[in-house]
Amino acid sequence: MSKRRFLPENNTPEAEAEIKFYETANREQLEKRATKLGYKNLQSYQSAMWHRLGARLKPKTVTPPEEVEAEHPIVVNLPPVKLRDYKAKKTRRGDEEEAILHASDGHACKITPSYDVDVYNSRMDTLLDATMTIVTLHRNMYPIRKLRTFNTGDNSQGENPYQGSNIGSVKMGARDQTIKVAFPAWVKLIGSLKQNFEEVEVECIPGNHGHDRLAPETSREDLRLYDLLKVYFENTKGVTINIYEGFSAIVNVLGFKCFLFHGDGIPCQQGVPFFALDRKLKSWYMQYGGFNYAFGGHFHKRHSDEISSKLEYFMCGSLASDDEWALKKLGISSNPSQSIYGMHPQMGITWRYGLVVDKDKLPIKLTTGVAVDY
């Protein structure tokens, strides 16, 4: 029989004692406390403390030690950066491949017990390091000079209350989420990646967050972000931003057709979207004359499957953690992650990795890429 999960009633001396312990204890003490109270893991205990007692930890991974620095003004008009030209190392081993970074569902400015603006920025930085760790390993076998980035939407949380953007669950309004948080983070990521690749090409698909149902389809915060990125990098050699205003697009990578979509139009049955996803992809396959691979997001769960010998799909994870939407919809809250793939000109996708972006969950030290600072 499982242990009873118990927290004291709110606004009681016991509750105040529990909150005081929760806010001052270290991670090891919190894990022991979660086990003692019968919770499955620390994440479940944190979620219960937030919903029952209103207690939320400030993530320790990004809090400066001891001293508190003065708050810096947010840079909206980002200054241009001078990027060095990437020079590939000569190698005679293996055929050249192209790397594909699949990013989705960043939900900048979403607030949960373990996610906020600081954590978002930290995980975007970790995404760069995780990408370069994998690429560096494969460059020991063959050249990888180009990176294709598939961005399948929901870069910001938005402000629609029907999508969980209630007061207290978002840091700022939708426009500021894009301009002050997501835009600088993506400029830094793309600029840093360009330092490590000869060419970076970004394929941009809008998601369903940051959009009102009654507004025009083009009034999406994702499209605002993509427009800003396109203008910012328009004169940068080796960086291309491709924007698709529709719900999907087919792009060609080394002769292989890749179908990009967000996935918000796919229903769930008893918390499982995969049956409907299979049917929808088969319909799209016939409608658009066939494609080799499909890449989507929306469900905050990293997942892939072969629909047939001619079609395989890949669903991306999310940067957010402790996400109530995923818990209510799918019954799970996956580890924050994104994905990376290798594309061979004859064999198609040859390797694939999930990129864990939470530093606390990484078993190894990452290879840091050349980053851009402002």
Predicted confidence (pLDDT) per residue in 174-197, tens digit = 899 999 999 999 999 999 999 999
pLDDT digits (tens, 9 = 90+) for 240-296: 999 999 999 999 999 999 999 999 888 776 556 778 899 999 999 999 999 999 999
The lowest-confidence range among 62-66, 71-75, 307-311 is 62-66
Residue in this structure with the two tokens 């403390």, named with its chain if needed:
49
**Are the C-beta atoms of residues 206 and 245 closer than 8 Å to each other?**
yes
Task: Tell me what the pLDDT averaged over the chain comes to.
Answer: 85
- Kindly state the DSSP code that residue 249 receives in the 8-state scheme: E
**Range 32-41 contact pairs with CB under 8 angstroms and sequence separation of 24 or more:** 37/3, 37/5, 37/6, 37/7, 38/2, 38/3, 38/4, 38/5, 38/6, 39/5
pLDDT for the residue 65: 47
The lowest-confidence range among 33-42, 67-76, 198-207, 286-295 is 67-76
**Are the C-beta atoms of residues 131 and 372 closer than 8 Å to each other?**
no
Residue 207 pLDDT greater than 70, yes or no: yes
**Are the C-beta atoms of residues 223 and 206 closer than 8 Å to each other?**
yes
Instruction: Say what angle helices 27-36 and 13-24 make with each other, to 10 degrees.
Output: 140
Write phi, then psi, for 342 (nearest 5 degrees). -115, 135
pLDDT for the residue 17: 84
Q: Where on the phi/psi map is residue 330: left (φ > 0), alpha (ψ -120 to 50), or beta?
A: alpha
Looking at mean pLDDT, say which of 149-153, 300-304, 323-327, 363-367 comes out highest: 149-153
pLDDT for the residue 100: 98
pLDDT digits (tens, 9 = 90+) for 214-234: 666 777 999 999 999 999 999
| % of the chain at pLDDT higher than 70 | 83
Looking at mean pLDDT, say which of 124-128, 268-272, 359-363 comes out highest: 124-128
pLDDT for the residue 64: 47
Q: Which amino acid is at 235?
A: N
What mean pLDDT do residues 131-146 have?
Answer: 96
The lowest-confidence range among 55-59, 167-171, 200-204, 294-298 is 55-59
More confident residue, 344 or 15: 344
Q: How confident is the model at residue 24 (pLDDT cuts 50, 70, 90)?
A: confident
Q: Which residues pair with 102 in a beta bridge?
A: 150, 339
* CA neighbor of 342 nearest in space, from 78, 147, 54, 112: 147
What mean pLDDT do residues 307-331 have?
Answer: 83
Sheet with 337-344, side-by-side order of all strands? 239-243, 199-204, 144-151, 97-103, 337-344, 348-356
Report d(CA 288, CA 177) in Å as an integer: 34
Which pair of structure tokens corresponds to residue 228?
Answer: 């800003």
Q: How confident is the model at residue 62 (pLDDT cuts 50, 70, 90)?
A: very low
The lowest-confidence range among 132-136, 204-208, 275-279, 358-362 is 358-362
- Residue 98 has, within 13 A of its CA and on its CB side, a CA count of 20
Report d(CA 143, CA 124) in Å as an integer: 25
Residue 74 pLDDT greater than 90, yes or no: no
- Which residues does 38 contact at the CB level (< 8 Å), separation at least 6? 2, 3, 4, 5, 6
Which pair of structure tokens corresponds to residue 178?
Answer: 């894009």
- Cβ neighbourhood burial of 372 (10 Å; 0-12, 13-18, 19+): middle
pLDDT for the residue 150: 98
The predicted model scores a pTM of 0.75
The lowest-confidence range among 76-80, 201-205, 325-329 is 325-329
Q: CATH classification of 97-361, choosing from 3.60.21.10, 3.30.200.20, 3.40.50.1580, 3.40.50.1220? A: 3.60.21.10
For the chain, the domains span: 13-57, 97-361
